[in-house]
């Protein structure tokens, strides 16, 4: 028997237009196997569906399943003492230069077994799923050895076997330079061979880097992107988080899916992103937690037509959070994005930041990944501070 599902009396936020929520009140969604086949007014439901048993949602809001398009979900250890140092005045860069920061997480991660990493990541993942998330991007970057990087990506793939969620993996070997090497030595000896090996094992959906004075130079990132292009893999970049390195423009030249953070991006960078169709991924949790004061140029992105996404950046150093709803709230209160932009940022634009075209909207043909909320107003998702009025979560057509 063909697997079918039908929901009626829904309030849909389809996010399928060029802007806005794409609201449809008194709406139905018909699902066949794992795909949406109808999404529109109840009274426009095709005749063959009229005899199918329906679940009434009593006006509840239905959005696409939420997509967290930038996370460092797999890691071990805590950086609470570093947090205390920063509260006393040390900067994120000071801590990194003193050998803490990313390195302390690398050490803790490399000392933890695969099972330990998996169970830590599952705890964080479960909190995300409880907020209606159906797709999560997961980066490597806390191994910094060939085997360490591959191991994190294998654990990431495992997550989708253990939970009803789509996982997109990103190779972030160019995250930090080990103390005993220079950047180019590390790229030659570890990062680029690791990238080739990970790609050969089918572990890589996209390739990322950290372009910063405390990370990799634009010339070094270019080397990583050249190998990604040779392997046919899309790229994205941690760009202009702490200073303007021209990273967004460089990423755009490689047709990057996204450039992320962007507090210090120049107008030149914004225009290059607009031309390339590169998504600006806003990470207000990291902005907040690092007590950054320079806000990314939201108005310039709007004017240039750069699509904006919003993500948690879930990681132990700059954003120890898992709540995509709190990230949405922060995007509105700290970055002056509208609740409409925040919702589009965790649905349609987040899908685009991951190069996924079959999720992120409620339209026929899309995978039926949906979140049903105990409210009818879509601004509710940004309004609550990390609260989750989730009623049900549907993954690939199945309620789970």
The site for ligand NIG (CB under 6 A) is made up of 72, 101-102, 105, 210, 238, 241, 286, 313, 315-318
- Here the tokens at position 160 are 């989708």
CA distances (Å), 6 to each of 139, 358, 363, 373, 399, in order?
A: 36, 20, 14, 17, 12
Nearest of 102, 177, 175 to residue 141 by alpha carbon: 175
Tell me the residue nearest to ligand NIG as measured from the CB: 317
Rounded to a whole number of angstroms, the minimum distance from the CB of residue 141 to ligand NIG is: 7
Nearest of 13, 79, 103 to residue 339 by alpha carbon: 13
At 134, which helix (H) or strand (E)? strand 133-139
Instruction: Pick between residue 101 and residue 307 the one whose CB is nearest to ligand NIG.
Output: 101
Per-residue binding letters, 266-305, with Fe ion (x by CB under 5 A):
----------------------------------------
Per-residue binding letters, 298-327, with Fe ion (x by CB under 5 A):
---------------x--------------
Instruction: Pick between residue 215 and residue 339 the one whose CB is nearest to ligand NIG.
Output: 215
Rounded to a whole number of angstroms, the minimum distance from the CB of residue 368 to Fe ion is: 30
- Residue 101 interacts with which of ligand NIG, Fe ion, none, CB < 5 to 8 Å by class: ligand NIG
Nearest of 254, 299, 300, 243 to residue 277 by alpha carbon: 254
Instruction: Pick between residue 82 and residue 369 the one whose CB is nearest to ligand NIG.
Output: 82
What CA–CA distance (Å, rounded) separates 162 from 229? 31
- Here the tokens at position 221 are 């990132």
- Residue 393 interacts with which of Fe ion, ligand NIG, none, CB < 5 to 8 Å by class: none
Instruction: Pick between residue 215 and residue 269 the one whose CB is nearest to Fe ion.
Output: 215
Rounded to a whole number of angstroms, the minimum distance from the CB of residue 333 to ligand NIG is: 20
Eight-state DSSP code of residue 305: T
> How far is Cα of residue 40 from the mean position of the Cα atoms in its chain?
28
Rounded to a whole number of angstroms, the minimum distance from the CB of residue 348 to ligand NIG is: 22
- Residue 167 interacts with which of Fe ion, ligand NIG, none, CB < 5 to 8 Å by class: none
- Residue 318 interacts with which of ligand NIG, Fe ion, none, CB < 5 to 8 Å by class: ligand NIG
62-77: b or e for each residue (b if 16 or more CB lie within 10 Å)? bbbbbbbbbbbbbbbb
Supply φ then ψ for residue 324, to 5 degrees. Answer: -70, -30
Tell me the residue nearest to Fe ion as measured from the CB: 313
Placement of tokens 């099972």 in the chain = 115
Rounded to a whole number of angstroms, the minimum distance from the CB of residue 92 to ligand NIG is: 7
Instruction: Pick between residue 272 and residue 286 the one whose CB is nearest to ligand NIG.
Output: 286
Supply φ then ψ for residue 257, to 5 degrees. Answer: -65, -40
Rounded to a whole number of angstroms, the minimum distance from the CB of residue 187 to ligand NIG is: 17
Rounded to a whole number of angstroms, the minimum distance from the CB of residue 238 to Fe ion is: 5
Instruction: Pick between residue 237 and residue 381 the one whose CB is nearest to Fe ion.
Output: 237
CA distances (Å), 122 to each of 68, 156, 245, 276, in order?
A: 15, 10, 35, 35
Instruction: Pick between residue 60 and residue 139 the one whose CB is nearest to Fe ion.
Output: 139
End-to-end CA distance of the chain: 21
- Residue 132 interacts with which of Fe ion, ligand NIG, none, CB < 5 to 8 Å by class: none
Eight-state DSSP code of residue 47: G
Name the E strands within 212-339.
236-239, 258-261, 279-282, 308-310
Instruction: Tell me how many residues contact Fe ion (CB under 5 A).
Output: 1
- Residue 190 interacts with which of ligand NIG, Fe ion, none, CB < 5 to 8 Å by class: none
- Residue 22 interacts with which of Fe ion, ligand NIG, none, CB < 5 to 8 Å by class: none
Supply φ then ψ for residue 210, to 5 degrees. Answer: -115, 100
- Residue 317 interacts with which of Fe ion, ligand NIG, none, CB < 5 to 8 Å by class: ligand NIG
What CA–CA distance (Å, rounded) separates 307 from 346? 11
> Which residues of the chain form contacts with Fe ion (CB under 5 A)?
313
């Amino acid at each position: 028997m063909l697997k079918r599902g039908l929901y009626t009396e829904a309030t849909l936020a389809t996010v399928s237009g060029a802007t806005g929520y794409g609201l449809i009140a008194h709406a139905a969604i018909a699902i066949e196997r794992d795909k949406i086949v109808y999404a529109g007014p109840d009274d426009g439901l095709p005749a063959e569906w009229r005899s199918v048993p329906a679940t009434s949602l009593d006006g509840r809001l239905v959005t696409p399943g939420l997509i967290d398009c930038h996370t460092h979900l797999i890691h071990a250890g805590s950086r609470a003492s570093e947090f205390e140092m920063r509260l006393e005045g040390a900067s994120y860069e000071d801590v990194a230069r003193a050998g803490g920061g990313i390195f302390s997480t690398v050490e803790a991660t490399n000392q933890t077994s695969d099972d330990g990493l998996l169970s830590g990541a599952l705890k964080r993942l479960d909190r995300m799923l409880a907020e209606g998330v159906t797709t999560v991007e997961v980066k490597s970057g806390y191994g910094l050895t060939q085997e360490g990087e591959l191991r994190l990506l294998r654990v990431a793939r495992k997550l989708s076997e253990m939970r009803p969620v789509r996982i997109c993996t990103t190779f972030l070997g160019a995250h930090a330079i080990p103390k005993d090497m220079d950047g180019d030595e590390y790229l030659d000896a570890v990062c680029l061979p690791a990238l080739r090996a990970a790609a050969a094992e089918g572990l890589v959906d996209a390739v990322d880097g950290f372009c910063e004075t405390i990370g990799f130079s634009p010339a070094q990132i270019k080397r990583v992107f050249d190998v990604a292009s040779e392997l046919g893999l899309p790229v994205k970049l941690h760009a202009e988080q702490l200073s303007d390195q021209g990273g967004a423009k460089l990423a755009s030249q490689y047709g990057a899916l996204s450039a992320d953070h962007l507090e210090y991006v120049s107008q030149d960078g914004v225009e290059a992103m607009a031309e390339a169709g590169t998504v600006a991924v806003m990470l207000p949790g990291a902005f907040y937690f690092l007590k950054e004061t320079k806000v990314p140029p939201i108005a310039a992105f709007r004017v240039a037509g750069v699509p904006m996404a919003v993500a948690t950046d879930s990681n132990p150093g700059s954003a120890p959070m898992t709540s995509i709803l709190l990230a949405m709230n922060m995007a509105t209160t700290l970055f002056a994005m509208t609740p409409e932009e925040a919702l589009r940022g965790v649905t349609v634009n987040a899908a685009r930041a991951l190069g996924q075209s079959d999720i992120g909207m409620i339209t026929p043909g899309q995978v039926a990944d949906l979140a049903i909320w105990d409210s009818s107003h879509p601004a509710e998702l940004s309004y609550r501070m990390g609260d989750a009025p989730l009623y049900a979560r549907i993954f690939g057509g199945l309620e789970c």
